[in-house]
Amino acid sequence: MAQRILGLDPGLAILGFGVIEATATGAPGQAEATVVDFGVIETPAKTPVGDRLCTIYDDLHSLIDQVKPDLVVLEKLFFYRMGNTILVAQARGVIVLVLAQYQLPFIEFTPAQVKQALTGYGNADKADVQQAVARELELDRIPRPDDAADALALALAAWYQQ
């Protein structure tokens, strides 16, 4: 049975997304994941915050209509710069609203949990995580931009947890 997982790396300027499809291969305990799509939703910096949130709202609706995920995974919000954290929290609120409108289940992971799931080490470098994404999904190169690679990493972490 196939499961489509949408990973979202929340941000106001750049919201990364990555969609994988995990399929059981038939052998006990065996499954594989393939990339369905990945990319970013971008909002211009000089645009009013309300308009940027509307763009995220509209584009996320379009994305969900297109990829029809079974599960969504979000990066858990962590605090590093208060001004930026508030903007990311606002974008994240819009994301959660859209998911509620679609009645989509979602789970959350911290960056350390994603690193642990993909590399076996919770303090792994970003490059190590990106290489793990490319390797696990059998990609020729690391997905770009970084936000899209991070979203694929979230989707893989959710798949591994199941």
The predicted-structure confidence for 19-42, as pLDDT tens digits, reads as follows 999 987 655 556 689 999 999 999
Domain spanning 2-161: CATH superfamily: Ribonuclease H-like superfamily/Ribonuclease H (3.30.420.10)
Pairs from 30-36 (Cβ < 8 Å, separation ≥ 24) = 31/159, 33/136, 33/137, 33/155, 33/156, 33/159, 34/137, 34/138, 35/137, 35/139, 35/152, 36/4, 36/67
Q: How many CB atoms lie within 10 A of CB 114?
A: 28
CA separation for the pair 98, 111 (Å, rounded):
23
Please, are residues 91 and 56 in contact by the beta-carbon 8 Å criterion?
yes
Q: Among this protein's residues, is 108 annotated catalytic?
A: no
Q: Among this protein's residues, is 146 annotated catalytic?
A: no
- The radius of gyration of the chain's CA atoms, rounded to the nearest angstrom, is 15
The predicted-structure confidence for 41-55, as pLDDT tens digits, reads as follows 999 999 999 999 999
The predicted-structure confidence for 95-106, as pLDDT tens digits, reads as follows 999 999 999 999
The predicted-structure confidence for 55-73, as pLDDT tens digits, reads as follows 999 999 999 999 999 999 9
CA separation for the pair 84, 78 (Å, rounded):
11
Per-residue confidence (pLDDT) for residue 85, from 0 to 100 = 82
Per-residue confidence (pLDDT) for residue 24, from 0 to 100 = 72
Q: Among this protein's residues, is 147 annotated catalytic?
A: yes
Q: Of residues 65, 108, 125, 147, which has the active-site annotation?
A: 147
Domain positions in the chain: 2-161
Read off the pTM: 0.93
Q: Which residue has the higher pLDDT, 162 or 16?
A: 16
Per-residue confidence (pLDDT) for residue 80, from 0 to 100 = 60
The predicted-structure confidence for 81-131, as pLDDT tens digits, reads as follows 566 788 889 999 999 999 999 999 999 999 999 999 999 898 899 899 999
Q: Of residues 65, 75, 146, 150, which has the active-site annotation?
A: 75
